[in-house]
Amino acid sequence: MKFDQIEHYDHFGTETIFWADISDMPEVLKCKAREIDGAEFNPSCFGVCVIYDWAKKEFDLIVDVDPPTGEHCNVYYIDTDGDKHWFKAELAPEFTQAIFAACDKNLKAIQESKTHFRQKGVNDMPNYDDLFTSQPAPQEEFNKDAWAAKKQAEREGVYAMIDSHVHDMGVDGGVFQAYLDVQARFDLYSVSNAILIAAQCPEATKLADFDSWKADGVYVKRGQDAITILEPGKEYKKDDGSVGVSYNVKKVFDIS
């Protein structure tokens, strides 16, 4: 395997997450990715995720636990729909250290840039003051119940949008025809998602999330309005013993 570059980073409180592109993957992982994407398999869509803990001043790899097997997966593949699929791979210590070194270099470069602009009298550098400080500002502790409530509110808002647009479709033939046109263009999308697309961007022709567009060399414009859809999450067992599927809110962007 070969480390290519740090694609981007995200900051969450006292932690910074780095997304690193990797290539020259073992054939077994390529085969698994081909099973997902078929002819649209893209060997440049593999990566690893690194976390930097500001309090401990340590880097570590992020892993995702596969529920059926309990395996700790440390490599992901982004499919054509923008979803991440996690796999387990043997990563040599020198390989991970090279990625950690690149992450550290990024931290230092941006911190130096922030210092430069401060010396020039520029004090409004976006995203820098909170991100690159030796002592991060105190952050509220993660509240699992509050997070779950927020996600549930997001889902309820999406369901309400579906209900409202279904009502509009029933009283306005033009709105209903627009939905039919969307469903015809996005024939692999569920009825619910076609309704959501019709409600937000009926002229949409091709959708993908931010990471998928970036992997294809397309960059979403700053301020571009996202289209909200639903994607299936993990299966779970209901109280009656039957199996249900959870749904998550997903943001995608039209190619226009």
- Supply the pTM of this predicted model: 0.47
In a domain, 53, yes or no: yes
201 with 246, same domain?
yes
Q: What is the DSSP string of 28-93?
A: HHHHHHHHHHGGG--TT-EEEEEEEETTTTEEEE--EE-TTT--EE-EEEE-TTS-EEEE-----H
* Residue 251 phi, psi dihedral angles, 5° rounding: -100, 125
CB-based contact 255:206 (threshold 8 Å) = yes
Read off the pLDDT of residues 192-211 as tens digits, 9 standing for 90 and up. 999 999 999 999 999 998 88
108 with 217, same domain?
no
In a domain, 212, yes or no: yes
Tokens of 138: 């105190």
96 with 154, same domain?
no
Q: Which residues of the chain have pLDDT under 70?
A: 12-13, 66-69, 110-144, 222-223
Place of tokens 């636990």: 65
18 with 101, same domain?
yes
CB-based contact 165:194 (threshold 8 Å) = no
State which residues form the domain around 180: 144-254
100 with 180, same domain?
no
Give CA–CA dist 246/229, Å, rounded.
Answer: 14
115 with 148, same domain?
no
Closest alpha carbon to 166 in 194, 204, 207, 203: 194
In a domain, 226, yes or no: yes
Last residue of a domain, one of 70, 104, 119: 119
Q: Which residues contact 29 (CB under 8 A, 6 or more apart)?
A: 46, 75, 77, 87, 89
115 with 151, same domain?
no
104 with 181, same domain?
no
Give CA–CA dist 219/210, Å, rounded.
Answer: 8
112 with 152, same domain?
no
In a domain, 124, yes or no: no
Please state the domain count of the chain: 2
Give CA–CA dist 145/69, Å, rounded.
Answer: 27
Q: What are the contacts of 158-161 at 24+ separation with CB within 8 A?
A: 158/196, 158/228, 158/230, 158/249, 161/196, 161/199, 161/200, 161/228
155 with 238, same domain?
yes
48 with 92, same domain?
yes
What per-residue confidence (pLDDT) applies to 48?
A: 93
Which residues in 126-161 are b (16+ Cβ under 10 Å) and which e? Answer: eebeebbeeebeeeeeeeeeeeeeeeeeeeeebeeb
What per-residue confidence (pLDDT) applies to 122?
A: 46
What per-residue confidence (pLDDT) applies to 111?
A: 64
33 with 106, same domain?
yes
- The region that residue 35 occupies, defined by phi over 0 for left and psi between -120 and 50 for alpha, beta otherwise, is alpha
Read off the pLDDT of residues 133-174 as tens digits, 9 standing for 90 and up. 444 445 555 566 777 778 888 889 999 999 999 999 999 999
